[in-house]
Chains A and B, each alone.
Chain A
Amino acid sequence: MSGTRNMLAAPIAVFSSLRLTVLLLGLCMILIFWATLLQVQMGIHEVQLRYFRAWIAWFDVVPGEKSFPIPFPGGMLLGALLLLNLLAAHIRRFKLRWEKAGMILVHTGIVLMLLGELFTALLSEESQMRLDEGQTSNHSASPREIELAVISRDMDGIETVNAIPFSRLADGSDFAFDGFDLRVLRFFRNSEIQDARLADGSFDPMRADKGMGATLAVREKPRETAMDLRDLSSAFVEIRLADGTPLGRWLLSNALAGVERFDAGGKTWKMSIRQKRFYHPFSIRLLDFTHERYLGTQIPKNFSSRIRLLNPGEGEDRETLIYMNHPLRYGGLTFYQAGFDNDDSTSILQVVRNPAWTMPYVSCAMVGIGLVWIFSQHLIKAIRRRRRSEP
């Protein structure tokens, strides 16, 4: 038993040192500062993925053509090490005494907060619901991620949606369906589409022979970084029937509105590249969107969406108002007023699923109370010292 304790002593001593804490905090500061600057070129989402939610962050020392990336501990690594450091320190010095209660409370709160951020990174889903006034919808769409949807419709009018996620789309990837094969010939993560007659040599030579993309040409573009722009993904896909007969080549893109149709295996199919969809067991109808401005200015005063919540499964059918700083929490999702469009007749709701959303509230309260506890102890000590020193 004591042997195990000795074996653990050395790593615990290293991991529990305050020096390590200070070093890790310093590294965090460098990472955060550097990554903040990089947001100007790279955009906030890319920076999150590459620096804060990464184990190793690669920084370009010489930005531009001849890049020279150097590795730096990423947010995940620093968070994990801080967590280890904290746990080790508390294991080593743990004493259940009132004087230590503040310290324990603060650090438990911080552990909770780090874990909350981790769970959020792993579990949370963000999407948007776009509603015109009077429109009802039961799904929201990811603003960034796309999918290739292949939809069949049976006799009763029930649609079956097959969604191929973005991660599986690549040049040459093949998907077998009931009665046909779909092959992705070319995939462009972000692209520009133009009339084929005006396209120069920088455009891909491939053309479609079916559908609305038959007269268009595509070229690859660097990923979008601005917060308000999204990637336009495109793909040339080929459909072959089960007997090997080619049916044609289509250009699909989320830049093109509408779907492509074809017949195979005795059914009519629809396909399109669209923003990844999340279906909900209830629907929302937008009754009215209002956008108030202060008199004589363009300064927005309030945005609000009056909606009707329809959940036949639960027998719910009620009205509610979503506006700035007052989201709707329903069915494990939260709906926020995020934007508007079409001359104030379309409302955009942000839809967030974050099972860990309460953790920051709890941890904030713990750390706050803990800090007040610690610092009032310091203050009381200081006052006592003064009393003693004064005659």
Chain B
Amino acid sequence: MNTLARIVPWLIPALCVVALAAWSWRAMRPSGDGFDLEGFATLPVVSNGRIQPLDSLARNRLLSIQGKQRVPGENPPPSPAGWLAELAFTPQQADKRPIFPIHHDEVLGQFELKQEDGKSFSFLQLVPRLGEMSGEVSRIATKDPQIRSPYEKAMMQLWKSLGSYQQLKFSIAHPESAGLESDLTLLVEKAREAKGEEQKRARGEPFAAALTDAAGARMKVLSEWSTQTEVFTKPPAMGKLASEWRKLPDAAVDAIGQEELDPSTLAFARMGDAWRKGDPAAFNTALSGYSEWLATHRPDDLGKAHAETVFNRLAPFYTCMAVYTLAFLCALLSWLGAGHALRTAAFRVLLVGLAIHTAGLIVRMLLEGRPPVTNLYSSAIFIGWGAIALSVLLELFYKNAIGTAVAAITGFSTLIIAHHLSLSGDTLEMMRAVLDTNFWLATHVVIITLGYSATFLAGIIGISYILIRPFWNIPESVATQLRGMAYGVICFATLASFVGTVLGGIWADQSWGRFWGWDPKENGALLIVIWNAMILHARWGGMIRERGLMVMAVFGNIVTSWSWFGTNMLGIGLHSYGFTDAAFLWLSAFIGSQLLVMAAGFLPGKRKPSAPIQAVS
């Protein structure tokens, strides 16, 4: 028993690390049958205003279309990038894959579709309905998005998905072209010949009208193609600005003035041809040639794309969720009698999770070149991180596994929220002009988000206290510790939310000329400050004791969730750029659950109840 008590605190975290290593090895293992899809996934392009690997492009499109990164069905492509290659090079195959989920009954009814076992629909199934759909869409588009019905929203969502799916088809190839390389080369040659004929015409000499007409028609195809994609594939020359990336068809037009097709266009064309022929060797040769060119001409872009691809595949925040679950279970078991050894093990597992979480945050910061919080998704990640970091301090101070348990719960829930927020698309998106300032993001946004973390943490300590109380006679020593933890965290929350809120006011003064405008998001932040101040004053004035403190701390969850999400749902004010739609039901459910917990706080406990909460006179 004694040896076990010595081993367990190291054994469990060690097993956890081994499992993580094995999982990472599996995630990084090459896939695919001969085609170097890993190298393909790493190729940098510009989409959504930023340089990103094809891997991110494919993953984010799949996420926003179907809510997951894996393509379902028989013989699925081995990776998101594999799906992208298939979609661009052999679209007739990709069009058969059921990736469009349609859940709304009216949308299904409109197109006489039937849902079979919750399966999604393929592009091929939807093609016959496109005409009818476009009529509906142009009707709905004239309506204000705020007043669209759920059916109309579902319809617009489906239309948007179909649009972004079609755009990808034109990103690195043209679906109608039989031989990409030969077509593009021919086009450049013919255009050059036509240019000569044009010069003859300008001089008044006889010229071949057929040649100039054919070249004009080809140019028209290219300019149409250019409007059909939003992906930029041709990197600028060494040292040139990122804003000089070009789309593939535009790069082909550029080639007319030069001697030959540029390396990127040529590589994509050759890879496409090889893919269609099922010739992995040719595919890999074209790919490695282009990668080498990138390594010498655009090393930073390639390096960044490579790092992001590794980040995508290791998915650190998903890994964290598993680690936090393990930490929570260990903490739970430690209270059921296993004691000190498991408590230490739980804490160490939590630290492993925190290390991965921190690493993930740092990589995101390096990729973006920004402080940790830039949008709703990253705020969720950071709120979890902040709460865990605070709980680690609590655990070091109190050593009772409560810190570990609440940290694990907060970490897990915020990462779940982050996962759902990531479904809206690219989480490393560019910042709108007014937000484009590292100084204020690093001060106001980070500090106020830490305030959210602390308020949630205090709330979760409150929930734990209230839910345990009816079943367990909480000993005075533990009650004192819980009280101290909640109180300390609320103090920190007051400080962080106050300073964060005022810094927000100062930012507003700097960027649009008034310190305080009673904007919903500002009001939400102010509510958190006032609520925390109320708890402290009520405590100092003896109006509340232990139970009152916990019940009030739980209400802090409601106030914070309102400020975090509720205010964005109002859709007004200067802060409404983070609008989320479906979250409304979840927010209501969360608020309801918190009210229930608060009500449960008034139930008699096993222990002699503390003095009743006195009404505020």
Q: Is B502's CB under 8 angstroms from A360's CB?
A: yes
Instruction: Tell me the number of A-to-B contacts counted with CB atoms below 8 Å.
Output: 178
Bound-state CA distance A113–B502 (Å) is: 10
Q: Is B572's CB under 8 angstroms from A39's CB?
A: yes
Known A22-B541, A44-B519, A360-B509: A299·B524 in contact at CB below 8 Å: no
* B436, CB-defined interface residue at 8 Å: yes
Please tell me which stretch of B346-354, B413-421, B528-536 contacts chain A, meaning at least 4 of its Cβ atoms lie within 8 angstroms of it.
B528-536
Known A299-B49, A334-B513: A36·B520 in contact at CB below 8 Å: yes
Number of B residues with CB within 8 Å of any CB on chain A: 67
- Name the residue of chain B whose CB is nearest to the CB of A53: B518
Bound-state CA distance A334–B513 (Å) is: 7
Q: Is B430's CB under 8 angstroms from A44's CB?
A: no
* B484, CB-defined interface residue at 8 Å: yes
- Name the residue of chain B whose CB is nearest to the CB of A32: B523
Pick from B247, B506, B513: contact of A360, CB below 8 A.
B506
8 A Cβ contacts from A317-363 to B: 324-327, 334, 336, 338, 350, 352, 354, 357, 360-361, 363
Q: Is B242's CB under 8 angstroms from A367's CB?
A: no
- Distance in angstroms from B152 CB to nearest chain A CB is 20
Pick from B231, B518, B527: contact of A48, CB below 8 A.
B518
Bound-state CA distance A379–B531 (Å) is: 21
Known A18-B540, A35-B518, A364-B506: A294·B434 in contact at CB below 8 Å: no
- Name the residue of chain B whose CB is nearest to the CB of A382: B484
* B573, CB-defined interface residue at 8 Å: yes
Q: Mark A28-53, 1 if CB is under 8 A from B, else 0.
A: 11001101110110001001100010
8 A Cβ contacts from A179-224 to B: none
Q: Mark A6-40, 1 if CB is under 8 A from B, else 0.
A: 00000000000111011101101100110111011
8 A Cβ contacts from B223-268 to A: 230-232, 242-243, 245, 247
* A268, CB-defined interface residue at 8 Å: no
- Chain B residues contacting A74 (CB-CB under 8 Å) are none
- Chain A residues contacting B47 (CB-CB under 8 Å) are 296
Pick from A26, A113, A354, A378: contact of B491, CB below 8 A.
A378
Q: Is B491's CB under 8 angstroms from A375's CB?
A: yes
- Chain B residues contacting A324 (CB-CB under 8 Å) are 433-434, 436-437, 511
- Name the residue of chain B whose CB is nearest to the CB of A352: B513
* A101, CB-defined interface residue at 8 Å: no
Q: Is A33's CB under 8 angstroms from B527's CB?
A: yes
Q: Mark A257-289, 1 if CB is under 8 A from B, else 0.
A: 000000000000000000000000000000000
Q: Is B519's CB under 8 angstroms from A364's CB?
A: no
- Chain A residues contacting B505 (CB-CB under 8 Å) are 360, 364
* B495, CB-defined interface residue at 8 Å: yes
- Chain A residues contacting B436 (CB-CB under 8 Å) are 301-302, 324-325
Pick from A39, A338, A368: contact of B495, CB below 8 A.
A368
- Distance in angstroms from B567 CB to nearest chain A CB is 7
Bound-state CA distance A17–B542 (Å) is: 11
Highest count of chain B CB atoms <10 Å: which of A32, A117, A372: A32
Decide if the interface of chain B is mainly helix, strand, loop or mixed.
helix
* B452, CB-defined interface residue at 8 Å: no
Q: Is B514's CB under 8 angstroms from A126's CB?
A: yes
- Chain B residues contacting A379 (CB-CB under 8 Å) are 488
Known A39-B520, A44-B519, A296-B47: A303·B499 in contact at CB below 8 Å: no
- Name the residue of chain B whose CB is nearest to the CB of A52: B518
- Name the residue of chain A whose CB is nearest to the CB of B492: A375
* B75, CB-defined interface residue at 8 Å: no
Pick from B245, B488, B511: contact of A382, CB below 8 A.
B488
Instruction: Give me 28 A-to-B residue pairs in the complex whose CB atoms sit less than 8 angstroms apart, sorted by A's number.
Output: A21-B537, A23-B617, A29-B530, A39-B573, A40-B572, A44-B518, A44-B572, A52-B518, A117-B516, A124-B514, A299-B429, A300-B432, A300-B433, A302-B433, A324-B433, A325-B436, A325-B511, A336-B511, A354-B515, A360-B505, A364-B505, A364-B506, A367-B498, A367-B502, A368-B495, A368-B498, A368-B502, A378-B488
A interface residue numbers (CB < 8 A to B)? 17-19, 21-23, 25-26, 28-29, 32-33, 35-37, 39-40, 44, 47-48, 52, 113, 116-117, 120, 124, 126, 227, 293-297, 299-303, 324-327, 334, 336, 338, 350, 352, 354, 357, 360-361, 363-364, 367-368, 371-372, 374-375, 378-379, 382, 386
Given pairs A35-B523, A294-B48, 17 additional interface contacts (CB within 8 A): A21-B537, A22-B541, A39-B520, A44-B573, A113-B502, A117-B516, A227-B572, A296-B231, A296-B232, A327-B511, A336-B513, A352-B513, A354-B513, A357-B509, A360-B506, A364-B506, A386-B397
